[in-house]
Amino acid sequence: MASHDTAPHDTARHHTAPHGTAPERVASPHRIDPTTLPGRPCSVAAALDVVGDRWALLIVREILLGNTRFSQIARNTGAPRDRLSARLRALVDAGVLDRQVYQESPRREEYRLTESGRELSRVTQALLDWGDRWAVTAPPVRLVHHHDHQLQTATVCTVCAEVVDRADVTRESLTPGWDVSGPVGASRS
C-alpha cells in the first residue's frame, strides 16, 4: 500500500483553509447531555466519551508536537492505520481537530487542533506528570521551561491566584436528584 498523508477513505465533515491560514472554527457538534450517560452525570465521563480511548490522546500529543500528517501520526503512535483513520474522523466530528489542505495536487491534508483540542494540552501534561511518577521506570522525555529549568506545573485558581490544594476543594452537585454520594434517596451501602 502506498504511503500517503491523509487518512484513506476518510469522508469526515471538515473545514479546510489554504496552507498557513487558520481553518474556519465551528462550534463543537459533540456535546453530551451528562444525564444520558450511565451512572453519575459527569463531565469526566462525557470527556472520556470523546477522547477516552488509547489513540485519541496520543493523536493529540503528536499534533501538539507538530506532527500533523497522517503518516507522521501513524508512525509516532503505533496505531493501526484503520483505527487511526477512524479515530481521526471521530476527533474531527467531535470538533477536537480540523483538517487543513497543505497541498492541492495531489490533494493532501493535515490535522490541526481546534480550540478544544489545544485545551487538551493540560490533560496530556497531567498524564505525562503522572506517568513519569507512576507508570515508567525512568522518564523518557523532560520538559524544559525557558530553556533553563525543568517544567513543574501546578493548578492555580484564576479567581484568587492560590495554588489549589485538593483539601480546599468541595463539590457541589448541579444535577437534580444527585449529590456527591450518588443518587439522592439511594441506599448508601
Angle subtended at Cα 10 by Cα 109 and Cα 76, rounded to the nearest 5 degrees: 65
Query: For the residues 48-69, what does the mean pLDDT come to?
Result: 97
Domain with residue 43: its CATH number is 1.10.10.10
Predicted structure pTM score:
0.79
Lowest mean pLDDT among 10-14, 31-35, 93-97, 126-130: 10-14
Domain extent at residue 6: 1-139
- Tell me, yes or no, whether 106 lies in a domain: yes
- Tell me, yes or no, whether 102 lies in a domain: yes
- Tell me, yes or no, whether 169 lies in a domain: no
Residue 19 has pLDDT above 80, yes or no: no
Mean pLDDT rounded to a whole number for the chain: 86
Which neighbouring-strand residues pair with 100? Answer: 110
- Tell me, yes or no, whether 147 lies in a domain: no
- Tell me, yes or no, whether 152 lies in a domain: no
Number of domains in the chain: 1
- Tell me, yes or no, whether 176 lies in a domain: no
> What's the rounded Cα separation, in Å, for the pair 13 and 95?
10
Chain centre to alpha carbon of residue 88 = 11
* Residue-wise pLDDT tens digits, 87-145: 999 999 999 999 999 999 999 999 999 999 999 999 999 999 999 999 999 999 999 99
- Tell me, yes or no, whether 172 lies in a domain: no
- Tell me, yes or no, whether 188 lies in a domain: no
> What's the rounded Cα separation, in Å, for the pair 33 and 104?
39
Burial code (b: 16+ CB inside 10 Å, e: under 16) for 163-186 equals eeeeeeeeeeeeeeebeeeeeeee
